[in-house]
Amino acid sequence: MAQRKPIVAGNWKMNGSLELVSEICSEAKKYNDLNVDVIIFPPALLLSEVVKNGVATGTQTISEFDSGAYTGEIHAQLAHELGAKFTLVGHSERRSIFKESDLQVADKFAKAQQFGLTPILCVGETEAEREAGETEQVVAKQINAVINKLGIAALNNSVIAYEPVWAIGTGKTASPEQAQAVHKFIRDMLKGYDEQVANALRILYGGSVNEKNSELLFAQADIDGGLIGGASLKKDAFISICNSAIGNV
């Protein structure tokens, strides 16, 4: 995993409770001094509780707008003031359910960085796109939307998460070889812009990662950790995944 510090990020989606925050964070904070960045992405209402429990946290999305008449939206500046360090942008569920476009995702990426949040840019193809041989085309288009808006240097202060849509919450997982192939494509593509940025960028895999497959996934040369869904809600599974990341540095 080169010399890039791995990340294990737990995306709780619209799940979780005060009890779960306490249970997970009591273990997750033990990794603060180890060679892995553990991040929890709880529902927005629990963000401050994760901060209180001493674990790095972020929001699952943020608004591309500044403060104003945007009912229900999450302002990047306020999230940062409340202790968020990161935000997901462009998660496949945001793209599919809420119809976020590549341009809108790029705007959110920019707004996150403007107010001191590190964006984790989520990219990935649907099953139909993979079967049509369009994986690389789709992923490149999603990443280039950010580069075209902000330039390659913006990726210095970011993370990319490759999450094939067909593997999210389905129990299907890209094989380590399939995942590595796309991660390598992403890094090689970015080397065409700036080799130093590409080599330093941490690229995570997301898509039904669990305690049984994480070690093999994280052992791949260009996979720098994982964006974990369902398994991040189970303490023992999540901690096992964190241990897998440490073991593959």
Taking 3-state DSSP, the helix, strand and coil percentages for the chain, each rounded to the nearest 5, stand at 50, 15, 35
Whether 191 has a binding-site annotation, put simply, is no
The Cα–Cα gap between 113 and 108 comes to: 9
Q: Where are the beta strands (DSSP E) in 7-73?
A: 7-11, 37-41, 56-59
- Token reading at 122: 């989520």
Whether 90 has a binding-site annotation, put simply, is no
117 touches 108 (CB < 8 A): no
Pairing between β-strand 56-59 and β-strand 86-89 as defined by DSSP bridges: parallel
- Which contacts of 11-15 are long-range, i.e. CB under 8 A and separated by 24 or more positions? 11/41, 11/60, 11/88, 11/91, 11/206, 11/227, 11/228, 11/229, 11/232, 12/40, 12/41, 12/42, 12/43, 12/46, 12/60, 12/232, 12/233, 13/43, 13/60, 13/93, 13/229, 14/43, 15/43, 15/233
Nearest one of 14, 44, 12 to 28, comparing CA atoms: 12
User: Which positions are annotated as active-site residues?
Assistant: 91, 163
The Cα–Cα gap between 36 and 28 comes to: 11
Whether 12 has a binding-site annotation, put simply, is yes
Annotated binding residues: 11-13, 169, 208, 229-230
| Known binding positions for substrate | 11-13, 169, 208, 229-230
